[in-house]
């Protein structure tokens, strides 16, 4: 059984048609169509709008690649405290 948060991530806005869902580690990127416009959506918010499906799919793939890069995140285990102490980390 899905929780409400998991279920709400896949809700298509009213008047939109689903074109494709791309999976990433951070979540799902949806490509929807409304009229003659294609919308790229992440967490039910429009990230980008394109005029044709080909450009929309290209933009969605680029967005997924940007989201998966580690350089955009804040502090993580690999860069806290400077250089690592060697193989195995700090605690051996």
Calculate the dihedral angle through the C-alpha atoms of 72, 10, 17, 31, rounding to the nearest 10 degrees.
20
Per-residue pLDDT tens over the stretch 28-68:
888 999 999 999 998 888 999 999 999 999 999 999 888 87
Contact (Cβ atoms closer than 8 angstroms) between residue 42 and residue 29: yes
Average pLDDT taken over every residue of the chain: 76
CA torsion 66-52-41-27 (nearest 10°) is -50
Domain residue ranges in the chain? 4-68
Confidence class for position 75, pLDDT limits 50, 70, 90: very low
pLDDT band of 1, cuts 50, 70, 90: low
Angstrom distance (rounded) from CA 68 to CA 24:
7
The neighbour count for residue 59, using CB atoms within 10 Å, is 18
- In this prediction, residue 72 carries a pLDDT of 42
């Amino acid at each position: 059984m899905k929780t409400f948060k998991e279920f709400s991530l896949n809700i298509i806005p009213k008047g939109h048609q689903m074109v494709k869902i791309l999976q990433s580690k951070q979540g799902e990127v949806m490509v929807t169509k409304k009229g003659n416009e294609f919308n790229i959506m992440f967490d039910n918010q429009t990230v980008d709008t394109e005029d044709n499906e080909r450009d929309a799919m290209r933009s969605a793939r680029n967005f997924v690649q940007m989201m998966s890069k580690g350089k955009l995140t804040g502090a993580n285990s690999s860069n806290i405290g400077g250089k690592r102490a060697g193989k195995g980390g700090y605690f051996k």
